Structure 1
Amino acid sequence: MNLVRRPGWAPVVLSYATFVLVGLSAGVAGVLIPAQIADYRIDEATIGITFFTTSAGYLAAGATAGALLHRVHVRMALVVGAVFYAAGAFAMAVRPSFAILVAVQLLVGYGTGILESILNVFLAELPDSTTLLNRLHAFFGVGALLGPLLAAWMLQYTSWTAVWLVLGVLCLPLAAGFLLAYPRRAPAAEHAGAERPRGVFLEAVRTRAVVLGSLFLIVYVGLEIGVGTWAFTYLVKEHGEPDVVAGYTVSGYWLGLTLGRFLISPLATRAGMSAASMATACLLGVTGASALLWAVPTASLATAGFVLLGFFLGPLFPTAMAVTPQLVPQRLMATAIGVMNGLSLLGGSFLPWLAGWMAQHVGIWTLLPFALTLSVVQLAVWRLLVARTPAPAIATPGG
């Protein structure tokens, strides 16, 4: 049973707008760090504490999203996420002490995690789920591209706190939209297992598909963020590219990722490919682009290679979310997506750190074999994930 059979256009548009906000939030963070360091008179290691509290909130959201959805259904679960996010944003907007700044990252992380998990669950149960989810995550990319521009422009005229004030204000109409546009009643599917949410969580984390899906997303996010974080350093140190050119190349990588989410799924639908086949083709593209970058390390090919790498990476995360309803029982679906979404952040924290450690102790050239290794691991885990599922059970990208 679908969570919502005929949602209309408003909930879907609100989903996309919410992911633009989440992308904006991610995009402004790096630009604001120098201003925060100067304001609080701290160093890079100290400001890094905020990354851990944000991650803790995000992981807590992944662990509790399923139970929250069972208790209060989609509409109110999204309101809860928006309230937590806005509370954290407004708390930072008043320039709290550094200890409180660290603490309120829990609110932002939890609110972001709830919004992401619930919207992934909501769209995963709709017709054309793979296309819808790819567009959803593409709009995250739109926000991530615009976020640094917004923050850099605002910092010319005001303080870093004003940026968070704007983000908090932008969240308020979304919360109102959730109340108006999403269904008021909870479908029966949302209540499956509601009387024993802890049991559902434990069953989900022991399920083979959830374990493999979480591992796949951990590796995926580690690869995506690891390359995005260290590509600039690689291009400058290995190829001697000017900072401006290297910066444009990294922007091209993120633009490629966003375009891949907008374009590949519709093209796969026209070709009659299943979601699993589309993801496999993208994984082969990721592996090929990584191998090309390593085997032919010239500056001109590096730019094209990074754009291609981003393009083929783009659909993988949303497609994994889209096939989850076909891989786990209905009663576990919401919790499974929440757990997978939450644990993916582990890859985004540890694997980019590992890439940086190797760059420091071995050399930045290790970024490309690092990317190639992770791409091969991704492909292997994906094949294990879908191997025991009959082909017809994996929906086509268009449905």
Structure 2
Amino acid sequence: MKKSILFLGLIYLIFISLGLPDSILGVAWPSMNGEFNVAASSAGIIAMVVSIGTILSSFQTNQLIQKIGVGNLIVCSILFTVIGLCGFSVSKNFVFLIISAIPLGLGAGAIDTAVNDYVALHYKAHHMNWLHGFWGIGATLGPIIMGVFLRNQNWRGGYLVLAGVQFILVTVVYFTRKQWKQPKQAAHSLEAQDSLLTLFKQPGVIFSLICFIFYVGVEACMGLWGSSFLVKVKDIPISTAAFMTSSYYASLTVGRLAAGFFTFFLSSRKLLYISEGFLLAGVVFLMIGKGNFAAIGFIFTGLGSAAIFPTMLHETPERFGTKNSARIMSLQLALAYTGTTFLPPALGVLADRFTLTIFPYLLFLFGGIVFASTIILEKTVQATNLR
């Protein structure tokens, strides 16, 4: 019993480590930007490279697990993130940053997919909710750690410390790699592969995919451009902006840990509507908030974002049936990564043209699309179930 609890604790620690690098580029970028003498929107290129690496490794995770095992894959993946973070800390030019982003994305994608699949197979549903909450703990700690180093304009030190934390973790995971249960190899028939082409025709699937694309777009844009928005539009010091950005991830974490308890007295539909309303309210606060008051916008947006992603995943079998839920869930995650890949760089390009004052307005547009798509999706699913 004690051994199983310790192993579960290790799984949570892995997801904390997964969250650590996810939120620091946007925090450090106002300092990095000037040093490398590139456009502010260039952060979007780095984020895109990380996201593409994440997508590629996610699609290959199952095959890699069958070849080298879950434990070995997680060890290699965390080691890849160590290499990427070290590369960031010693980069002397923008091209080397892009090269360092490749192993960072490859490692993150494999960890995310492998650990999510493992928990889904071997643990109860509430552990999945808390798992994403622990990712939020890492995403909260990342900007705090970087903010400490930014007080001395030492963003490289922040990346190096995070690489050290990841290295300690990979050492621990290495000695537990044989404890990870190997899943049975799934048979993928031609019929199952062909059926994927018909999923788009299932009522509501298109609107579900739209929700995933634009919700994850909100989360990714908050992480990448939130700190720059505070510095350049709200005239807030860089180190203070880093801590304010961490408030978004802190509220995201608290909200996800609490969401599991809300499901005892709220339906998933009501939880989604309330969450999306909070998200839009938070973005309005970002528009009108001045100075430190803008932090309220980050907190509200984080609280609103908290339950959306895990609830949408959890609702997949209810909305579309258990027969196709696994393939639809994979499709949803793939489209979510697509939103992460393209929406933050697109916002950066528009910000170069119109300034970062457009940041909250585009977030409101994204959130509005999620809210409208959720309403249409719920009505479509209800109408289908009544037939």
Shared fold (TM-score, shorter chain, > 0.5): yes
1:275 equivalent in alignment to 2:274: no
What one-letter code is carried by the residue in structure 1 that aligns with 2:181?
P
Displacement after TM superposition at 1:261 (Å): 1.1
Task: Tell me the SS of whatever aligns to 1:319.
Answer: helix
What one-letter code is carried by the residue in structure 2 that aligns with 1:269?
T
Contact 1:133 1:319 in 2 (8 A): no
Write the deviation string for residues 305-326 of structure 1: whole angstroms up to 9, x where unpaired: 3211111111212222222343
Contact 1:63 1:339 in 2 (8 A): no
Contact 1:258 1:314 in 2 (8 A): yes
Task: Tell me the SS of whatever aligns to 2:116.
Answer: helix
Q: 2:193 aligns with which of 189, 193, 199?
A: 199
1:305 equivalent in alignment to 2:297: yes
Displacement after TM superposition at 1:388 (Å): 4.4
1:79 equivalent in alignment to 2:82: no
Q: Which residue of 2 aligns with 1:397?
A: none
1:20 equivalent in alignment to 2:12: no
Q: How does the TM-score come out when normalised to structure 1?
A: 0.74
CA 1:200/1:92 → structure 2, altered by over 3 Å: closer, same or farther?
farther
Q: How does the TM-score come out when normalised to structure 2?
A: 0.75
CA distance in 2, matches of 1:381, 1:86: 39
What one-letter code is carried by the residue in structure 2 that aligns with 1:24?
L
Task: Tell me the SS of whatever aligns to 2:315.
Answer: helix
CA 1:55/1:387 → structure 2, altered by over 3 Å: closer, same or farther?
same
CA distance in 1, matches of 2:10, 2:201: 32
1:119 equivalent in alignment to 2:109: no
CA 1:18/1:110 → structure 2, altered by over 3 Å: closer, same or farther?
same
How many aligned positions are there? 372
Displacement after TM superposition at 1:285 (Å): 1.8
CA 1:321/1:35 → structure 2, altered by over 3 Å: closer, same or farther?
same
* 1:289-300 equivalent positions in 2, closer than 5 A: 289-294=282-287, 296-299=288-291
Displacement after TM superposition at 1:20 (Å): 0.7
Contact 1:257 1:310 in 2 (8 A): yes
CA 1:207/1:134 → structure 2, altered by over 3 Å: closer, same or farther?
farther
CA 1:323/1:195 → structure 2, altered by over 3 Å: closer, same or farther?
same
CA distance in 1, matches of 2:242, 2:29: 18
Q: Which residue of 2 aligns with 1:288?
A: 281
User: What stretches of structure 1 of length at least 5 have no aligned partner?
Assistant: 1-6, 394-399
* 1:1-399 equivalent positions in 2, closer than 5 A: 9=5, 12-29=8-25, 43-44=37-38, 50-65=46-61, 71=66, 76-77=69-70, 79-87=72-80, 89-90=82-83, 93=86, 102=98, 105-124=101-120, 129=125, 131-150=126-145, 163-164=162-163, 166-180=165-179, 182-184=180-182, 186=184, 191=186, 193-196=187-190, 199=193, 202-203=196-197, 206=200, 208=202, 211-243=206-238, 245-266=240-261, 268-271=262-265, 273-294=266-287, 296-299=288-291, 301-328=293-320, 330=322, 332-389=324-381
CA distance in 1, matches of 2:255, 2:357: 26
Write the deviation string for residues 364-385 of structure 1: whole angstroms up to 9, x where unpaired: 3322322222111111222344
CA 1:335/1:252 → structure 2, altered by over 3 Å: closer, same or farther?
same
Contact 1:138 1:262 in 2 (8 A): yes
CA 1:65/1:341 → structure 2, altered by over 3 Å: closer, same or farther?
farther
CA 1:390/1:177 → structure 2, altered by over 3 Å: closer, same or farther?
farther
Contact 2:85 2:159 in 1 (8 A): no
What one-letter code is carried by the residue in structure 2 that aligns with 1:376?
G
Contact 1:286 1:375 in 2 (8 A): yes
Contact 2:81 2:108 in 1 (8 A): no
CA distance in 1, matches of 2:71, 2:199: 23
CA distance in 1, matches of 2:173, 2:269: 33
CA distance in 2, matches of 1:211, 1:136: 27
CA 1:372/1:90 → structure 2, altered by over 3 Å: closer, same or farther?
closer
CA distance in 1, matches of 2:251, 2:98: 33
Contact 2:78 2:107 in 1 (8 A): yes
Task: Tell me the SS of whatever aligns to 2:16.
Answer: helix
Displacement after TM superposition at 1:145 (Å): 2.3
Contact 1:78 1:114 in 2 (8 A): no
Task: Tell me the SS of whatever aligns to 2:69.
Answer: helix
Contact 2:207 2:377 in 1 (8 A): yes
CA 1:18/1:160 → structure 2, altered by over 3 Å: closer, same or farther?
closer
Displacement after TM superposition at 1:248 (Å): 3.9
